[in-house]
Amino acid sequence: MEVAYLIETIIKVVVILLVFSALAGIGTYFERKVLAFMQRRLGPMNVGPYGLLQVAADGIKLFTKEDIIPVNVVAPVFKIAPVITASTAFMAAAAIPFLPQFTLFGYTVHPIVADINIGILYILGIMGVGLYGPLLGGMASANKYSLLSAARGAAVFISYEVVTGLSILAPIMMVGSLSLIDFNNYQIENGWIVFNLYGVGFVAFILFWIAAFAETGRTPFHLIANDHEIIDGFGTEYSGMRWGLFFIGEYANMFFISFVIPLLFLGGFGDGSVFGALALLGKVAFFFFFFLWTRAAWPDVRPDQLMWLCWKVLMPIAVVNILIAAIIMI
């Protein structure tokens, strides 16, 4: 039994790595197409039908480009920073149930690597460790724009980690567990958390959704690699596949956050039926599209505005929301 469990776990890890690495690449294609559509352009069209092979062309280009290490960088830290970003993004996936359990050739498959009872805490912790990729990459690059990016990244991620944690305290109080599967089961019996507890769940959902943009570094909180201010931020001195690893991590994070939000607030995969699984994938597609839509529709905010929003608006609302949840549940 232990051997079978070990083999199943290894297969799950390999599948997650392969599928979400591919999705990260495909995500760049969809982003280009969505932005092009919203800006009345065509986007990728020449490489393959409708530009579908553009992702493969970009991947080959990144793998074959020269890996340049500038003279004055702190080489060991410079080299490891992109690996931290990409690896932590995939490590967070271990506690996410991507689909309901199903039977394959008489064997029950659980589409989660490890259903640990501190799943949400684990995901938040790993996402916090992921901050060190851009931070170390920017500090080790011996470039003023990269250093500015690292300083911004530290301020943004640390601030919004607090908002993220506070926003989900009220739902955790309702469910009484940190496991995402327990969250899904709770919502089968009690309805979606977003509609629960007289609006407390809805406020928590909005706070978590806003914080997700800061956690993933997406517009309107795209400050750590703001092209028109600090060139490419922490990635300015990177080339080849090391540069690509940063963006594999970014797009993988977008997909994982797009799974976590429905699982926490919008009923997850429901009762485990085929319809529930398809509904979860539909919710994930919506949230991923929303990340792309905001890039086309919203400007970036200034760093001081971002800090003001976090500490003077979202933080007090999150604390008050927790107090209201506690009072209602007493």
Helices 119-130 and 144-167: crossing angle in degrees, nearest 10, is 170
Q: H helices within 191-239, ranges in order?
A: 200-216, 227-230
pLDDT tier, 208 (very low <50, low <70, confident <90, very high otherwise): very high
The predicted-structure confidence for 225-271, as pLDDT tens digits, reads as follows 776 777 777 878 888 888 888 888 888 888 889 989 999 998 888 88
Decide: helix, strand or coil at residue 45: coil
Tell me which H or E stretch contains 79: helix 75-91
Please, are residues 138 and 149 in contact by the beta-carbon 8 Å criterion?
Answer: yes
Range of the domain at 70: 2-329
How deeply is 8 buried, as exposed, middle or buried, from its count of CB atoms within 10 A (0-12, 13-18, 19+)?
middle
Average pLDDT of span 201-226: 85
Q: What is the mean pLDDT of residues 295-319?
A: 88
Q: Work out the number of other CB atoms within 10 angstroms of the CB of residue 68.
A: 11
pTM (predicted TM-score): 0.88
Contact 174, 201 (CB under 8 A): yes
pLDDT at 1: 55
CA distance 327 to 31: 43
Tens digit of pLDDT for each residue in 127-158?
A: 888 888 888 888 888 888 888 888 888 888 77
What is the domain count for the chain?
Answer: 1
Within 10 A of 60 (CB to CB), how many other CB atoms are there?
11
List of residues 6+ apart from 301 with CB closer than 8 A: 220, 221, 223, 309
pLDDT of residue 320: 94
Whether the pLDDT of residue 33 is over 80: the answer is yes
Q: Average the pLDDT over 91-96 and give the result.
A: 85
Q: What is the mean pLDDT of residues 43-55?
A: 86
